[in-house]
A and B are shown apart, each in its own frame.
Chain A
Amino acid sequence: QKEVEQDPGPLSVPEGAIVSLNCTYSNSAFQYFMWYRQYSRKGPELLMYTYSSGNKEDGRFTAQVDKSSKYISLFIRDSQPSDSATYLCAMRTNDSWGKLQFGAGTQVVVTP
Chain B
Amino acid sequence: EAQVTQNPRYLITVTGKKLTVTCSQNMNHEYMSWYRQDPGLGLRQIYYSMNVEVTDKGDVPEGYKVSRKEKRNFPLILESPSPNQTSLYFCASSLLSGEPEAFFGQGTRLTVV
Which chain A residues have a beta carbon within 8 Å of chain B's beta carbons?
4, 6, 8, 32, 34, 36, 41-46, 49, 88, 90, 92, 97-105
Contacts and interface: CB of A to CB of B under 8 A. Distances in A.
A99 B99 contact: no
Given A32-B100, A98-B31, A98-B50, A88 B42 contact: yes
A104 B48 contact: no
A49 B44 contact: no
Given A88-B42, A90-B43, A100-B100, 16 more contacts: A6-B42, A32-B100, A36-B101, A42-B106, A42-B107, A44-B43, A45-B104, A46-B99, A46-B100, A90-B101, A99-B45, A100-B101, A101-B59, A102-B44, A104-B40, A104-B42
A43 B101 contact: no
B92 to A, nearest CB: 8
B49 to A, nearest CB: 8
Contact of A88 (B43, B49, B92): B43
Interface in B55-113: 56, 58-59, 90, 92, 96, 99-102, 104-107
Contacts of A44: 43, 90, 104
A51 to B, nearest CB: 10
Interface of B: 4, 31, 33, 35, 40-45, 48-50, 56, 58-59, 90, 92, 96, 99-102, 104-107
Contacts, number: 63
Nearest to A98: B48
Nearest to A92: B100
30 contacts: A8-B40, A36-B101, A42-B106, A43-B90, A43-B92, A43-B105, A43-B106, A43-B107, A44-B90, A44-B104, A46-B100, A49-B99, A90-B43, A92-B100, A97-B31, A97-B50, A98-B33, A98-B48, A98-B50, A98-B56, A99-B45, A99-B59, A100-B33, A100-B43, A100-B45, A102-B35, A102-B43, A103-B42, A104-B42, A105-B42
